[in-house]
Structure 1
Amino acid sequence: MAETPPVRRRPPGELEAGVLAALWAAEGPLSPAEVQSALGGRLARTTVTTILTRLHDKGAVSRSRVGRGFTYSPLQDSAGLTARRMRKELDKQPDRGAALARFVSQLPSEDEELLRNLLGGAGGGAPRGPQPGAGDDAS
């Protein structure tokens, strides 16, 4: 009797990342069927709709009623979403200072220098103007 190959489970967040990538690459809002098509049609439309609904519930995408269904748009670009996730994790920590210190201590020296430049050069706020290597084509 032949052995059945093991089922490969996707890493957590892989489907959401794919759906977000499809939305970021789009010229405008997409329906679940359009997202499914953009992903190569390998996921069931119900799966795509579930992922889009979860992303909406998490505040990562907006949706607008079109006929009997919805179209979806990303609320932030990739960098904005990463920043939001980082902030959400930081908000869970009772000792923010310790969490930030540990985060910075584990950064590669290039990232630590970039962070110092961003904080010093922008008066502690968001960076002004384009930063080298910080281009984001997922808008």
Structure 2
Amino acid sequence: MESKVQDMKQLGELEAVVMDRLWQWQHPVAVREVLEDLQTERHLAYTTVMTVLDNLHRKGFVRREKDGRAYQYVATTSREEHTADMLEQVLSASSDRGATLLHFVGQMSQAELDELRSALSSVETDPTQSGPSR
């Protein structure tokens, strides 16, 4: 039987680097802009970055809009939403979600626990609020 974890939308190394840039910038960007930024750290071909962005589009991580002859790419979710989706997928793969959550919470710092308590209190006060406002 296949593990649910294998179904997770995972990012390859270069995909993660590109997504990091898109999440930082928070505005539509062309392949050329991503390429020029990445070339400060490593040598990449235009077609490599174009392929990575095309793969991210196919996987649903980015949307693209035509701008003249080129596309502009933008992340479809925030980094935090993506991380929450990944956590949900990991929890879904667990046979005991509660125990998994307890292990996770047990690794948190006191500041993180305080932040979690505050977030839970906000949700309990306003049940329509499922997360930070966007």
TM-score by length of 2: 0.68
Distance between the aligned counterparts of 2:44 and 2:115, measured in 1?
39
Distance between the aligned counterparts of 2:91 and 2:101, measured in 1?
8
SS at match of 2:94: coil
Letter in 1 for 2:88: R
Verify the 8 A CA contact 2:26 2:75 in the aligned structure 1. no
The runs of 5 or more residues in structure 2 that have no matched partner are 1-10
Distance between the aligned counterparts of 1:23 and 1:97, measured in 2?
34
The answer to whether the aligner puts 1:105 opposite 2:110 as a matched pair is no
Distance between the aligned counterparts of 2:62 and 2:87, measured in 1?
18
Q: What's the Cα RMSD here?
A: 2.8
What is the CA distance between 1:69 and its match in structure 2?
A: 4.7
Q: Which residue in 2 is equivalent to 1:4?
A: none
What is the CA distance between 1:68 and its match in structure 2?
A: 5.5
After the TM superposition, which segments of 4 or more aligned residues of structure 1 sit over 6 Å from their partners?
none
Verify the 8 A CA contact 1:121 1:127 in the aligned structure 2. no
Higher mean C-alpha deviation, range 45-54 or range 22-31: 22-31
- Higher relative contact order structure (alpha carbons within 8 Å, sequence separation ≥ 6): 2
Percent identical among aligned pairs is 36
Higher Cα Rg, which structure? 1
The runs of 5 or more residues in structure 1 that have no matched partner are 1-11, 129-138
Distance change >3 Å, CA 24–CA 93, structure 1 → 2: same
Distance between the aligned counterparts of 1:31 and 1:48, measured in 2?
10
The structure with the largest helix share of the pair is 2
Distance change >3 Å, CA 81–CA 27, structure 1 → 2: closer
1:1-139 matches, cutoff 5 A: 13-26=12-25, 28-40=27-39, 42-66=43-67, 69-123=70-124, 125-127=130-132
